[in-house]
Amino acid sequence: MSVTLGQRDLSMPVLLAPLAGITDLPFRSLVSGFGAGLVVSEMIASQEMVQGKWAVREKAELGIDAANTSVQLAGRDAHWMAEAARMVAGQGAAVIDINMGCPAKKVVGGYSGSALLRDLDHAQRLIEAVAGAVEVPVTLKTRLGWDADCLNAADLARRAEGAGVAMIVIHGRTRCQFYKGAADWDAIRAVTSAVSVPVIANGDIVDAASAREALRLSGAAGVMIGRGAQGRPWQLARIAAALGTGRAPDVPQGSALSDMVSGHYEAMLDFYGMSLGVRVARKHLGWYMDDAGTPAGLRREILTAADPGAVLARLPEAVGAARQVAA
């Protein structure tokens, strides 16, 4: 099982989904270290980036030029989408992804993300603008449709392929479902049947068993993992190995696990600065401790601590001495 993306051969077609506020550079770097076919940046608003209003990230922080990183753009205006694509491609982006799947009200209210599923002509113009602006591969991430009465992902996929898109990721829910209910992997098959470019299945894929079932039902060429990687940055590599497309990772246990978590914590402090980093890191620490079965009292103590030194001092007990990581 392999996916070709331009001149790139993704021999490990297990990808990390873009998750706002989660798949930042420290986390993507950690996941990449264990092994991933491709990691996708958090969504970037195209116009704000070009106009310099996007105040949080710069080139180095985005990790634009990392070998297996795709930069995801969102927007509603073809001009700004094309300009943003040129900008990140000029900074070294190897792949550019177009977001037409985000269901958040703020994004949809700005006629971006999955709102574009209600106007495929406009969506096509945006795709054509991005694909025509750069030489690097362009991909598309979207959903099954706006709602159960508007399942038009296959139509959008055909238009995207015609515009030059090299790969399509489909989340197996409609926009109006948000993240409720179960992802409909079988419904993705309408998209895989409609195009010849690789289609990647996304939604509720958390382990090898769900990956196999998603591939079987959808006919997809690969899978994209989001929430399944939270607290388990090795999970993409583990799934790839189970699918026969990668080497099984050395999943850290005991002191190796506490060292990895401590390193991730310190990387977030460096990345965001001390004050913001302490707050942002809490969700990741919570997921690590959930996976490790940390006692509730110790978990609460760590998540409420304001002193990074105190957090680092307790992590060996919180995750290093916990149960073995489940397969």
Segment 226-235 mean pLDDT: 96
User: For residues 45 and 199, which has the higher predicted lDDT (pLDDT)?
Assistant: 199
As a CATH number, domain 3-242 is 3.20.20.70
CA–CA gap between residue 123 and residue 136 (Å, rounded): 20
> Could you give the dihedral angle defined by the CA atoms of residues 270, 271, 275 and 281, in that order, rounded to the nearest 10 degrees?
-100
- Residue of 49, 50, 73, 102 marked active site: 102
Domain ranges in the chain?
Answer: 3-242, 254-320
pLDDT in tens, 36-82: 999 998 888 888 888 876 554 444 456 776 768 899 999 999 999 99
Q: Which residues are annotated as a binding site for FMN?
A: 72, 141, 171, 226-227
User: For residues 52 and 303, which has the higher predicted lDDT (pLDDT)?
Assistant: 303
**For residue 204, is pLDDT > 80?**
yes
Q: How many CB atoms lie within 10 A of CB 161?
A: 18
Give the whole-number percent of the chain exceeding pLDDT 90: 77
- Global pTM? 0.93
Judge whether 323 and 290 are in contact, CB under 8 Å. no
pLDDT in tens, 161-176: 999 999 999 999 999 9
Q: What is the DSSP letter of 43?
A: P
Residue 176 among the catalytic residues:
no
The pLDDT score that the predictor gives to residue 68 is: 84
**For residue 108, is pLDDT > 70?**
yes
Strand 8-10 relative to strand 3-5, pairing: antiparallel
- Give 46-54 contacts, CB < 8 A, sequence gap 24+: 46/73, 46/74, 46/75, 46/77, 46/80, 46/81, 46/83, 46/84, 46/85, 47/75, 47/77, 47/80, 47/84, 49/73, 49/84, 49/87, 49/88, 50/80, 50/83, 50/84, 50/87
Q: Which residues are annotated as a binding site?
A: 72, 141, 171, 226-227
